[in-house]
Amino acid sequence: MRITLLSLLLLCLAAVVPARAELHITRDHGGYVEEYKTKYKRVREKGERVIIDGICNSACTLVLGIVPMNKICVTPRASLGFHQAYYDKAFTFGIKVTSSEGTSDLMSYYPDTVKDWIRRNGGLTTDMKKIKNGVELWKIIDPCPEEW
């Protein structure tokens, strides 16, 4: 087998240029908090970037407190949704039973900019409070640069 100079050069470049690892959030309505903590800690440890390019509600928003903010950006389609933590409705006969301990845990992860927005908007309640793309969101998360 013959290796050409061009092939060798391409192999060297592939070894030097790191892969652009990223998590692309487009439609995440949340779920179990502990699963999201584990997922986002793994993202942080790998140094991955996070692009919020759509819905990021509920436990999904933990990304803001676990992954460094300089590794997160939002596109014009981004929106965040916050509410009080509640127990799995499968175990509460379909009734939304809130958890003050779970809500405190969520709040403990959020950076001050998120806590301030939540406070200015009446605190966490059982209803989803959304923040959509625009100046309010950009006070919390930087817009994605064009190359992302």
Residue 16 lies in a domain: no
Task: Report the number of distinct structural domains present in the chain.
Answer: 1
Task: Taking residues 25-49, report their average pLDDT.
Answer: 97
11 part of a folded domain = no
The confidence band for 146, taking pLDDT boundaries of 50, 70 and 90, is confident
pLDDT of residue 90: 75
State the DSSP string of the chain: ----HHHHHHHHHHHHSPP--EEEEEEE----HHHHHHHHHHHHHHT-EEEEEEEEEGGGGGHHHHS-GGGEEE-TT-EEEE---B--GGGTTT---B-HHHHHHHHHHS-HHHHHHHHHTT---SS-EEEETTHHHHTTSPBPPTT-
Judge whether 143 and 96 are in contact, CB under 8 Å. Answer: no
**Cβ-contact 99, 59 below 8 angstroms:** no
Residue 3 lies in a domain: no
pTM: 0.82
| Per-residue pLDDT tens over the stretch 5-28 | 444 444 444 444 444 579 999 999
pLDDT digits (tens, 9 = 90+) for 93-130: 888 889 999 999 999 999 999 999 999 999 999 999 99
Can you tell me the distance from the alpha carbon of 16 to that of 11, in angstroms, rounded to the nearest whole number?
9
Which residues span the domain enclosing 123?
A: 22-139
Please report whether residue 121 resides in a domain. yes
The stretch 23-41 carries a mean pLDDT of 97
> Where residue 132 falls among pLDDT bands split at 50, 70, 90?
very high
pLDDT band at 147 (very low <50, low <70, confident <90, very high): low
In a domain, 44, yes or no: yes
